Structure 1
Amino acid sequence: MNRQKIVITRKIPESYVNDLKKQFEVVMWSSEDQPVTREYLLNEVKDASAILSMLTDTIDRELLSQGSELKVVANMAVGYDNIDVQAARDLGITVCNTPDILSDTTADLAFALMMATARRIVEAAEMVKQGKWLSWSPYFLAGYEIHHKTIGIVGMGKIGEAIAKRATGFDMNILYYNRSRKPDAEQRLGAVYADLDTLLQESDFIVCMIPLTAQTKGLFGEKEFKKMKRTAIFINAARGAVVDESALIAALEAGEIAGAGLDVFEKEPIDANHPLLQFPNVVALPHIGSATHETRSAMIALCCENITRVLRGERPKTEVKS
């Protein structure tokens, strides 16, 4: 009897692979840093029962249709905009993600990005390294305070709530915009629901944590940036495509906002010559929101558990329902 086959689209620690190999055939892309090729994936999925995918992999209808034995796709991310979930549903394929376990880690990064941008941390550190720190003056590298300011969180999911929790430690006023009200978060965290226009107009920090959908693509455009305070700082640790980058560039050039902290971009990896990277008031990171040893290990373990459950005929732990 042939064993069910699992395709892993990026190199992961051997300990997880060895555990899976006790029950299944496992095929793994050989590189940790380079994404799997389309050709490789199309070929390997033909007789595969499961895919352990990364957010950089395009799991579309064409690919899913190639897998006549395919039962489950376990995505190593909270978001699953890289997967055609409707196609998977049509083909009877279960889609899983890794929610909750990375909420605190990503919130840490988003808050760190906010602090780094507001206090010009990266700019200051580079100045020291380059030997450009020559003297002190009253407004030398003066940034913006965070404590007692207003933070506006767009997308009040688990990560958004975790960011709000951190904001309470800085005595911040917390506004949030979400598809639905969060009464529990309002009570626990003192968060106040606001419509998007009000949030944009009143917040000192706008933190984007919305998922990428057809409705949210390009949500932050010219009109939205014009509504922000000139002293506002925009943070995006969600998905790059929810922002119209040309509009963000224009807002920065015109001084319509004070700065931006970005962990995600429309096209990743972002080109080193991209206009956004030329602004000293932009802190840019290479999509590392959940990048800690502890969290990434937990994400891999959850993907493996979801795959194992489905291939055994059991319900997965974190199935995508939408």
Structure 2
Amino acid sequence: MTQPVFPERPPMKTGAGVAAAQPLRIVVTDPIISRFEQELKYDGGAHHWVMASGWSAEDQLRALADADVVVCSALPPEQAAAAARLRLVHVTGAGYEKIAMDSLPPAAAVANAFHHARPIAEHVVMVTLMLSRRVLAADTELRRGQWRTIATSPDVPFHPTLDGMVLGLVGLGSIGAEVARLGAALGMRVRAVRGNPGAAHPEGVQPEWVGGTAELPKLLETSDVVVVTVPLSEETRGLIGAAELERMKPSALLVNVARGPVVDQAALYAALSERRIAGAGIDVWWGAPADGKVPPSEFPFERLDNAVLTPHHSGHARTTFERRAADIAANVARLAAGRPLFNVVREPR
């Protein structure tokens, strides 16, 4: 394997009428955003981009020792501590729970990136239609040589349509808002709970009502489709458990595009296998695949015909990463120019 090259920093530009300026050294360790190198570099500044996603841990540590910026999805304590001159950690997604904040140098800001709301909202609509129209079951039956419709089998249910269904959103951030817009465009009646129910509604979102988290039971009892979009925290871990699932209609669907542990996996498996709710879309899991266990769960969700299972890919549209790369490049340009950054989740200390 070719050994990594560690270029020297160029000399600072000086001269009459020219302020001293030094290009930034940017280390990229995230393998997905590395595919968008052209978009990352669109600013055209004379920065030094070190594409280190395929490097060994030892070589990444060497590169980070001289980095002004690191672009990553995770930064463990040993890497954060090694990057003593960091000025910016730019996370490649919205979640920053894998950044060792306490190990960062005080001068380092942390920013994140978004642009995943639209593809995730489309995924929610797709899964809702698949579940409500028995796509998994019908596909399996047809492949087995069975032609089962309402015309041949009286036990096959009629399809519902989305118009008039109540869409219940647990969280009304960027993802929840985009799900609300798409749902409303399809005739769904939008309701939501959020941490601050009195906050202004997102642009283009006109829910029937928005309640606080204490009104979650009301939302669950009255919704036909419940979509979980809240970030994972100590307050939201296990937010949807056995008691909450018991409040849902037997005909209702649950779609989780937040984080796996927001929903109790044992309670969800029991509710699905016992048909106490009609179905679920699971895009987020309770850990990463380990020891060949796929999907990563303590329960055999893969055996259920009323669950649509996807490998945390609902936001993986190409536009998501093109736009994230452009945002990262824009923040790098702002840092180099001494201008305020956007999407900052930790200010320099």
User: Where on the TM-score scale, by shorter chain, does this alignment land: which range?
Assistant: 0.7 to 0.9
Q: Which moved more, 1:191-200 or 1:308-317?
A: 308-317
Map Cα deviations across residues 49-95 of structure 1 (whole Å, 9 max, x no partner). 111113xx2x244432221111111112122222244554x622111
| Counterpart in the other structure of 1:12 | 35
Which deviates more, 247-256 or 267-276? 267-276
SS at match of 1:256: coil
1:272 and 2:294 matched: yes
Unaligned stretches of 5+ in structure 2? Answer: 1-8, 11-22
Provide the secondary structure at the position in 2 that maps to 1:235.
strand
Once the 2 structures are TM-superposed, how far is the Cα of residue 175 of structure 1 from its aligned partner? 1.6
Q: Give, in whole Å, the separation in 2 of the partners of 1:187 and 1:292.
A: 23
**Alpha-carbon offset, residue 198 of structure 1:** 0.9
Aligned residue in 1 for 2:309: 284
Deviation at 1:316, TM superposition (A): 1.7
1:229 to 249, 252, 260: 249
The whole-number CA distance in structure 2 between the counterparts of 1:184 and 1:74 is: 28
Query: In the superposition, relative to structure 1, how do residues 142 and 91 fare at CA in structure 2: closer, same or farther (>3 Å)?
Result: farther
User: In the alignment, is residue 95 of structure 1 matched against residue 110 of structure 2?
Assistant: yes
- Structure 1 residue 237: Cα displacement: 0.9
Look up the SS of the partner of 2:345 in the other structure: coil
Q: CA RMSD for the aligned pairs?
A: 2.8
Shift of 1:188: 4.8
Deviation of 1:19 (Å): 4.5
Which residue, 245, 251, 260 being the options, matches 1:240?
A: 260
Structure 2 residue identity aligned to 1:213:
S
Equivalent position of 2:125 in the other structure: 111
How many residues are treated as equivalent by the alignment? 312
1:261 counterpart SS class: strand
Q: Please state whether the residue corresponding to 2:175 is helix, strand or coil.
A: helix
Greater shift, 249-258 or 37-46, is seen at: 37-46
Q: Is the 8 A contact 2:109 2:346 kept in 1?
A: no
**Corresponding residue for 1:189?**
206
Q: Counterpart of 2:324?
A: 299
Letter of the structure 2 residue corresponding to residue 291 of structure 1: H
The 3 A distance-change label for structure 1 pair 248 and 106 is: same
Preserved contact between residue 245 and residue 267 of structure 2 (Cα < 8 Å): yes
Tell me how far apart the structure 2 counterparts of residues 186 and 97 of structure 1 sit (CA, whole Å): 21
Secondary structure of the 1:73 match is strand
CA–CA distance in structure 1, aligned partners of residues 278 and 315 of structure 2: 26
How far, CA to CA, are the matches of 1:163 and 1:240 in structure 2?
A: 19
TM superposition shift of 1:315? 1.8
Residue 53 in 1 paired to residue 72 in 2?
Answer: yes
SS at match of 1:320: strand
Change (3 A) 1:209 1:111: same
Q: CA deviation at 1:321?
A: 5.1
1:260 and 2:283 are equivalent in the alignment: no
State the SS of the aligned residue for 1:151. Answer: strand
Structure 1 residue 18, shift from structure 2 partner: 5.3
Contact 1:269 1:286 in 2 (8 A): no
Corresponding residue number in structure 2 for 1:24: 47
Deviation, 1:289, is 2.5
Give the gaps of 5 or more residues in structure 1. Answer: none
Letter in 2 for 1:192: W
**Alignment check: 8 A CA contact 1:205 1:235 kept:** yes
Residues 187 and 94 of structure 1, relative CA distance in 2, 3 Å threshold: closer
**Cα pair distance change 1:321/1:200, threshold 3 Å:** farther
Q: TM-score, normalised by structure 2?
A: 0.79
CA contact (8 A) 2:25 2:66 kept: yes
Alpha-carbon separation, structure 1, partners of 2:223 and 2:206: 17
After TM superposition, the score normalised by the length of structure 1 is 0.85
Moved more, 244-253 or 262-271: 262-271
**Would the aligned equivalents of 1:221 and 1:248 in 2 still touch at CA under 8 Å?**
yes
State the AA in 2 paired with 1:272: V
1:305-320 matches, within 5 Å, as: 305-320=330-345
Residues 4 and 180 (structure 1), Cα distance of their counterparts in 2 relative to 1, 3 Å cut? same
Q: Is the 8 A contact 2:67 2:85 kept in 1?
A: yes
Give aligned-pair identity as a percent.
Answer: 26
Q: Deviations over 1:74-124 (max 9, x none)?
A: 112122222244554x6221111113x332232222222222222222443
Kindly tell me: are residues 188 and 244 of structure 1, through their superposed partners in 2, closer, same or farther at Cα, counting changes over 3 Å?
closer
CA distance in 1, matches of 2:205, 2:308: 31
How much does 1:20 deviate? Answer: 7.0
